[in-house]
Structures are given as C-alpha cells and as structure tokens.
Structure 1
Amino acid sequence: MKPAWHPDNQLTLLTNGDEYYPVLFDAIARAAHSILLETFIWYEDNVGWALHAALCDAAGRGVQVELLIDGYGSAALSDDFIRRLTDAGVILRYYDPAPRRFGGLRTNLFRRLHRKIVVIDEKTAYVGGINYSADHLLSFGQEAKQDYTVEIRGPVVDDIRRFALSWLPGNPTLFHRWKPGFRRSRPTPASLDTMAQVLFVWRDNAYHRTTIERHYIKMLAKARHEVIIANAYFFPGYRLLHAIRKAARRGVKVQLVLQGHPDIPLVKTGARLLYHYLVSSGVEIYEYGRRPLHGKVAVMDDNWATVGSSNLDPLSLSLNLEANVIIWDQRFNHTLKQALRTLIREDSQRVDAAHLPARNWWNLGRSIIAFHFLRHFPAMVGWLPAHISHQDLVKPAHPEADEVTTGGPNTAPRG
C-alpha cells in the first residue's frame, strides 16, 4: 500500500491547549479498545497529570494504550509518574533515551521524535504541534504558546494508525520502506460539498528525509494568489527559501508570520538574518508579539493547507522525526486562513524597511554565513555521529512484568 490522498474526511481545527485538551481527554474517555499516542514533550504539571489520569482510566477499563515519548523532550518525568502508568497497564516506550553526562548534561539532542500524533479506536486522529504541558494554555500567561492541532475523522486515519503502529517493535515497517511518488499523490478536483481530502506525510532519516520540505516547495510553485506561512522556528533550507522568494517575485502575496516574542531568543536572531533577502523580493514578514508562536501551519490560495509538527529550520527539515497532514478543502483553508489573518491584524508587526537590520559589514557578513550554512547544512548533517535509534519499553513494577526490550524499525543508516 502507498499513502495517498483520501477524500471524505471531517476536520476540526483546534487552537492551543484550551481547545485541544478538552476534546482529546473526552475522546480518550470514550475510547473503546485502542489508543496510540506519540509526543515530544510531556511535563509533570497539571496538563501532564490530567493526561496521565485519562490514560490510566482508559487502560483500567481494558483499552490498549500504547505510548511512544521522546527520550529527550520527556526525560524529566519522575519514576512515580511512570510507575503509575505502567502499573495501570499502559505500554510506555521511550524513543532513543540516553543518560545524563558531564554533571547532568543531556547530549542526545539530534534526530529526536518531534511528532505529535494520537489515534483513538481507528476512527479519530490528532496531528499537530501541541505538546502536553501547561504552557500551551492561555492561563499560563505571557509565555503561553500559540499553536494548532487538527482533529481528523475519516479514511486517512487508517494511514496514520498504521504509520504509528509501524514504529512499534514487531509491527510491519512498510511505511519506512515506501519511497513517495509525488505524481501519483495529488488531490482530485472537489466541489464545495465534498468533505476534505487529506494526505498524511512525514519526515524520517531513511527514505523520507525531504518529504515535508518538498510539499512546501511544490505548494509555493503552484501558488497563484496567496500564501500564508506561520512557523515558530524559521531558518529554512536554501531551496525552500528560494521558492518563497520566487513565488513573491511572480506576484503571489506571500506572508510569513514569525516569532516576535520568542521562547528562544536565538530563533529571532537567526530569522532576521534572512529578512533583507525576503523583503527585497516582496515577501511580507510579520512578527507575532502577543506570546511565543509555536505553530507550524500554512495555507495556499483557496484549498491547500497544512498542520503538523515540522518547523522550517535545520532540526525539523534535516534531523527530527516529523509528521504533517496536507489538506485540500476550501472550508478548512478558510478557517485556518482567517485565524492567521487575525494574528496578523491584531497581534503582529509588519517588518518594513525601517525595521530591517542595518546594512553594515557586520550584518552582511552574518547573512553570507547564514546563506552558506543553509545551502550546505543537509550535507553537513552527515558529519554528525551516526546512531541507531531504539525504543526502551518501561518495565512495570509488579513481579510478573515482561522484561525490558529494546529495538525498533527505524534503524536505517543516517545521512
């Protein structure tokens, strides 16, 4: 089987944890037989404990609950937190964990499991950028993150479910082995009454290293009127940067919504190195300033949209494991577009000539270094020490528990 566009899907855009968590926890409470969940960050705060309780309750009533959490992003969970999960019957695996070294430093920074996926009862899936932590709630204050997830019901859920299962030891790995054929994977024209067509795509370190980036580039090449990209960590590869500029030069209204109130100050510094190059070609750049932008979404013209976990930076485009959905639907496009236009209108400042970094030798030199870095980064990744990704199954505390197992399907050589 080859992943493909699936028609007749029902979609709901969920903004921030305030909309996402209640919907997800209700779906978990109604789960009848299976829950698959992958995430990068899970914190032991009020949100983390609420998810903990919901999953333990589901496992207690006989639902098979399988979790795959990242060994870097979720490394701080306590032994008690984990023990209660496994004792309840939850199957929990850490993706590529590593011990702290050099007095507590975590060195397993690269090639992380950055996906955020949930599949419930083979009927409902959630794909997006929202982790499980209190900083995704507006009540967190000025540092609350702005982000998005999409709820999906329909045929594409089976693709997402089989993909998630393929990452668990002992399950088929066909999704890792499939090499995407972009010409065979495209939507058919749809009327306004047809439910959404959806394509599930991902990035790994085997056969799908550039899949998400290629969909962005393809979208920019096909755009005729308007593109809005909202992305938290913006330092894209040279090909994608060139595609953005090329679209603007042929008359497409290209708007980038980037961080103006970053959670990591270096993010803003890096993005600003690219401002002259983009603005000079007609790209409109807006810095969102109400709180940290954590979203990874985009819309094109009247039908195309994407929601997912992939940033447009070197980590997401060349190293991390990511997942997005590509959506062809006028209603969803309009909903997401209006949400992004609201961010632009109410909480963003446009970067114009007065806000651009000064044109001096220091900034020119930094920009030249940045461009060469973007051009050569994919090849440079191959210099990083290779490792075999694995999963550690957490052993329940009771004596009859299975032994700890390691191993997983994603063992292809890195490049």
Structure 2
Amino acid sequence: MPHNKNINVVSENIALVHSGEDYFSRLESIIRNSQFEIHMQIYLFENDATGKRIISALKEAASRQVKIYLLLDGLGSLSFPSEIRYDLEISGINFRFFAPLFSSYTFYLGRRLHQKVVVADRKVALIGGINIADKYHGTATEPSWLDYAIQLNGEIAKPIQELCNAIFLKKTRLHSQKIKSVFHLQEDISVYILQNDWLKRKNEISNAYIKSICNAKEEITIMGSYFLPGRRIIQALKKAAKNKVKIKLILSGISDLPMTRRATCYLYSKLLSYNIELYEWNNSILHGKAAVIDNYWTTVGSFNLNNLSSYGSIEMNVEINSTVFSKMYQEELNEIIAHCQKITPETLEIKNTTFTKFINWISYYITRIIEIVVTFTPYKRFYN
C-alpha cells in the first residue's frame, strides 16, 4: 500500500516508521552511527537475510568498541542459532535470552519479553511492534507484514536506555520503578513512554487504552492484530459506542495464527451489535498495534489488545498527544481502511455457516484457555 513518508515527520524529535525498508534502514543507520552504547530488546530475531543484515551492523559497531546489549525472548527467538550467539559474544556483544524456554532445571512459559525496543547513545530510540525477520521487511515475492514503530530523538531516549539496562542486567529495583515518561517536545506535542508488566504492577498501556476509549467524544480507530480483548476493554468500547462515538476496528483478514483469528471472528456479532465498524486487512499479515482517538491521542507499540499482553508480557508503547501527529496517522489508517474488506451484519451472515460458527466458537474458548495457562503458569513466574 502506498504511503508518503514525507508527511510522517511532524517534529525533529518524533517520526512514524513503517515496517519494511523504512524501519530496517533506520535501524541499520542507528547502529552504524552509534558511538557508545546500544540496547536492543526484541521478541523475535531470525537468522534470515534481514537478521544477517542487522547482525553485520551490530558486529561492525562492536568492532568500534560500542557497548552492545542484545536481549532476545527465550520463546520468541527459540530458533536463534547457538553458533550465531557464540559468534556475537566473541565479537564483544553482550547477549542473553530473557526467560529461556528450556534450562537445566525447568521448562518455562510464563512472562515474556514482548517489547521491541532499540535505543542508542541515550539519544535515539525505536519503539514499536516490528521484529527482526524477513517477514517484517518483505521480499521480492511477499509484502512486509503491516506494522509500525515510532522513532524518538533527544532527551526522551535517556530513560528508555536506563530501563533497558535495568532489564538486561536484572536490576529488579530499577526495573520495578516507573521511568520518567512524559516529554513535551514542543508546544503541541507531548510524548509518554508507557509500560505494561503486570507482575511489576505496571498497567500503564492497559489503563491508557481504557481511559482514552471511555473519554472519547467523536472517533476511535484501532488497529489490532491478535485482537481478543478482555472484559474491561469490551465494556469501554460498548460505553463509547453508547455515547455515539464512531468506532472503527482494523483486524486481520489473514493471520499467522489462524486459530486466534477465528477466535476474533467469534466476537464479530457482538461488536457489530454495538454499531462498531469492522474492517479486515487482506493484503498482507496484519501485525500492527495502534490507535488514534479524537484526532489527538495516538498510541503505537508492542501491546496487543488481549490478555497475554495485559497480564503475561513485558510491553512498551509510545503515547503521543498531538493534533498534528494524530491527524497524520489517522489519514494513514483511513488509507488502510480504504483497502480493507468491510464486515457488515449482512456479509457476516453469508460467511457464517453453522460449521464456521462452531469453529469460531471452539477457537475462542481454546484460545482463552491457552491464554490462561500461558499467562498464569505459576512456576518461576518472576524469572527474568
């Protein structure tokens, strides 16, 4: 889908970043221009062409004596080759897995590192939902997964780097503290760094979504991959709809997790009964997690509207309060909607055979059970 990158920079301190070459060229530039220290905390890092490109940039930076800390989730990056890890460590890169799935004494699901954060020299950061893999970059035959990140420049990067350092070094006290999270970049733009880590009593992203939805006056647009919200989000959307707020949801038409998509489809009838507009994106896999409310409040990051993100993962979002930025991003989302298939009660009735309804129903409850098991696995829940 075409987009005009020139309109995505509304301040020298903040820019909307698209999956594909836009994200990876920025990431490579940040790494190659770094001088002192890089923190990269990623859920999924694959050893494909895109992964090799970023590994090469990291090794080059390490050769310049840049301190590099690479933290990958033990489940998301389970397939990361041990020989590549060894090569990175030989190059001087500090590497570890967050909560390895297997160890000598346990099998662990539980809490995951789901945030996607890169920060360099305490002056530039990338925060979003984009992992390191070909599917997020795209290939000659396959489009990139639809996703976004935010690039932040300046003082706002300092506390992000401090938090990443605390997580990597397992500084529990610092990790448990809230970071300074609000920055007024200019008169009409303020930025908040929001975290969700239920075990550390950080529910900032969940609470921001609920508060903003409940306070909406005119319009809510949400892009939701793996959309399976809990009761509080559903009730907030229902309340907003009763208040005559126009609500649009951009959801997955195709997904890398078909059962989760089926579970989302189970909610369609309920959502449509609230007069919520539903749009399915079918041009590529939808992986974005973002929202715009009333052309003023925007959030972009790693947080999915489901219980895994709410209660089982470490997440980070950027919240932007800005009329200029939100209007720009709303135009982007409107363009996406123009390329989506709209789901109406009539089209849903045609699609929903008795067998389809049963599959959606069973997918919903199986997915909910899996969420409960994974999220609340009791053994070594605080492992980090």
TM, length-normalised to structure 2: 0.87
Correspondence 1:13 to 2:20: no
Kept after mapping to 1: 8 A contact 2:260/2:364: no
- Which of 229, 249, 260 aligns to 1:236? It is 229
What displacement does 1:341 show? 0.8
The superposition leaves residues 308-347 of structure 1 with CA deviations (integer Å, 9 ceiling, x where unpaired) of 001112211221111111111122212221111111002x
The superposition leaves residues 144-186 of structure 1 with CA deviations (integer Å, 9 ceiling, x where unpaired) of 3111011001332222112111213264733414499xxxx88
- Equivalence for 2:139: 139
Which ranges of structure 2 fall in alignment gaps of 5 or more residues? 1-10
Correspondence 1:148 to 2:148: yes
Measure, in 1, the Cα distance between the counterparts of 2:148 and 2:243.
30
- Which of 207, 212, 216 aligns to 1:219? It is 212
- Equivalence for 1:334: 327
Correspondence 1:45 to 2:72: no
Kept after mapping to 1: 8 A contact 2:147/2:288: yes
Measure, in 2, the Cα distance between the counterparts of 1:187 and 1:371.
41
The superposition leaves residues 236-274 of structure 1 with CA deviations (integer Å, 9 ceiling, x where unpaired) of 001101111221221111100000011211122111111
What displacement does 1:194 show? 2.4
Equivalent residues in 2 for 1:80-95, closer than 5 Å:
80-95=83-98
Report the 3-state secondary structure (helix = DSSP H, G, I; strand = E; otherwise coil) of the residue aligned with 1:82. Answer: helix
Correspondence 1:173 to 2:173: yes
- Equivalence for 2:36: 33
Measure, in 1, the Cα distance between the counterparts of 2:308 and 2:241.
26
Measure, in 2, the Cα distance between the counterparts of 1:179 and 1:208.
13
Kept after mapping to 1: 8 A contact 2:228/2:263: yes
Kept after mapping to 2: 8 A contact 1:31/1:58: yes
Q: 1:29 to 1:187 in 2, by over 3 A?
A: closer
The superposition leaves residues 2-47 of structure 1 with CA deviations (integer Å, 9 ceiling, x where unpaired) of xxxxxx9821111113200101111111111110110000000111
Identity %: 29
Kept after mapping to 1: 8 A contact 2:69/2:95: yes
- Equivalence for 2:293: 300
Measure, in 1, the Cα distance between the counterparts of 2:57 and 2:356.
53
Kept after mapping to 1: 8 A contact 2:254/2:285: yes
Measure, in 1, the Cα distance between the counterparts of 2:233 and 2:21.
32
Amino acid paired to 2:255:
P
What displacement does 1:384 show? 2.6
The superposition leaves residues 273-302 of structure 1 with CA deviations (integer Å, 9 ceiling, x where unpaired) of 111111111100100110100001111112
- Equivalence for 2:70: 67
Q: 1:126 to 1:186 in 2, by over 3 A?
A: closer
Equivalent residues in 2 for 1:311-330, closer than 5 Å:
311-330=304-323
Kept after mapping to 2: 8 A contact 1:42/1:131: yes
TM, length-normalised to structure 1: 0.81
Measure, in 2, the Cα distance between the counterparts of 1:140 and 1:242.
43
Report the 3-state secondary structure (helix = DSSP H, G, I; strand = E; otherwise coil) of the residue aligned with 2:47. Answer: coil
- Which of 284, 289, 300 aligns to 2:282? It is 289
What displacement does 1:62 show? 1.0
The superposition leaves residues 126-158 of structure 1 with CA deviations (integer Å, 9 ceiling, x where unpaired) of 100000000012326446311101100133222
Report the 3-state secondary structure (helix = DSSP H, G, I; strand = E; otherwise coil) of the residue aligned with 1:267. Answer: helix
Q: 1:120 to 1:165 in 2, by over 3 A?
A: same
Measure, in 1, the Cα distance between the counterparts of 2:96 and 2:329.
34
Count of residues in correspondence between the two structures: 371
Report the 3-state secondary structure (helix = DSSP H, G, I; strand = E; otherwise coil) of the residue aligned with 1:155. Answer: coil
What displacement does 1:187 show? 8.8
Report the 3-state secondary structure (helix = DSSP H, G, I; strand = E; otherwise coil) of the residue aligned with 1:44. Answer: coil
Kept after mapping to 2: 8 A contact 1:179/1:207: no
Kept after mapping to 2: 8 A contact 1:287/1:351: yes
Correspondence 1:263 to 2:246: no
Equivalent residues in 2 for 1:368-387, closer than 5 Å:
384-387=377-380
Amino acid paired to 1:356:
L
Amino acid paired to 1:57:
E
Report the 3-state secondary structure (helix = DSSP H, G, I; strand = E; otherwise coil) of the residue aligned with 1:261. Answer: coil
Measure, in 2, the Cα distance between the counterparts of 1:338 and 1:351.
21
Measure, in 2, the Cα distance between the counterparts of 1:284 and 1:275.
10
The superposition leaves residues 225-245 of structure 1 with CA deviations (integer Å, 9 ceiling, x where unpaired) of 111100111000011011112
Equivalent residues in 2 for 1:266-281, closer than 5 Å:
266-281=259-274
Q: 1:211 to 1:377 in 2, by over 3 A?
A: farther
- Equivalence for 2:5: none
Kept after mapping to 2: 8 A contact 1:9/1:156: no
What displacement does 1:356 show? 2.1
Kept after mapping to 1: 8 A contact 2:167/2:175: no
349-358 vs 311-320, which deviates more? 349-358
Amino acid paired to 1:351:
I
Report the 3-state secondary structure (helix = DSSP H, G, I; strand = E; otherwise coil) of the residue aligned with 2:79. Answer: coil
Kept after mapping to 2: 8 A contact 1:178/1:207: no
Equivalent residues in 2 for 1:90-169, closer than 5 Å:
90-99=93-102, 108-139=108-139, 141-142=141-142, 144-169=144-169
- Which of 239, 249, 252 aligns to 1:246? It is 239
- Equivalence for 2:344: 352
Task: Write 1 or 2 for the structure with the bigger share of helix.
Answer: 2
Amino acid paired to 2:77:
S
What displacement does 1:111 show? 1.7
Amino acid paired to 1:165:
N
